[in-house]
Structure 1
Amino acid sequence: MTYTDPNDPNRTTVVVDPAPVYTETTETVVVRESNTGWWIAGILGGLVIIAVMFILFSRREPQTDDQILAAEVAAAEAEAQAQQAAVAGQIAGAQASVEVARANAARADAEARAAAARAAEPVVIEREVPVIVERPAPATGGTAVVTPTTPQG
């Protein structure tokens, strides 16, 4: 066992600088999309597959080239319809998103106007109104009747 004197002046000292600290911030943006178009495309694709299988397995006689071409044409038409439905669903989702954004903008505008109205100083309109006092003719005879509109004096 060796002994090292910590107060020995001949002992070498090593200074280690600490490593710099880096922080990283990530931001996640969640975008909600409509899946309606994909559902429609999936359902239509399933129907196309079922139709093609029905065509292939329902006939017992050998198929001719014309029948195969007709089945391929029907399958291509069904696929085109499925793609068209998917695009229509995406367009509808985009239009719904635009309407939501417009509604949010209108709500924010209304809130801003309400806040501006609360912050504005009230407007005071002053004007001079002339006072006209008419005295009725004194009553002759009878008893005096006092009403809230009768001048007291």
Structure 2
Amino acid sequence: MTHFNPNDPDRDTVIVEPAAYSETTETVVVRESNTGWWIAGILGGLVLIAVMVILFNRQAPQTDDQLLAAEVAAAQAEADARQATVAGQIAGAQASVEVARANAARAEAEARAAEARAAEPVVIEREVAPAAPTPEGPAVVTTTTPQQ
């Protein structure tokens, strides 16, 4: 690139060299692969086998007898569930009665204890006869008496 100002005679001409330019070419080699086709073929085969298994393993349509038996079984299960619910409610009521009885017994015991604390103490006096002397006489203990 050259810069020249024609209006300024004192100025010299400035010459700027262009930068070096190089060009690089890259070559990419793409090889064809058929792996994707193999995967797609295997998956398609698996899907086909699955469809055939589903079609050949179908059950026979249910008959009216089978439907009736299923309805009877469902009704029996519902009746059993209701019976279990009632039994649970009865057991809960019995447990509540037992808890109420236990609370009443505890309250009665506490009332008796409070009554006993409030009452005046009873002093029982009785005469006690002195112990009769032994036929040998009174016992004498010395340091030389054998100990058993």
TM-score range, shorter chain: 0.3 to 0.5
TM-score by length of 1: 0.43
Larger relative contact order (Cα-Cα within 8 Å, sequence gap ≥ 6): 1
TM-score by length of 2: 0.45
Q: Larger Cα Rg: Structure 1 or Structure 2?
A: 2
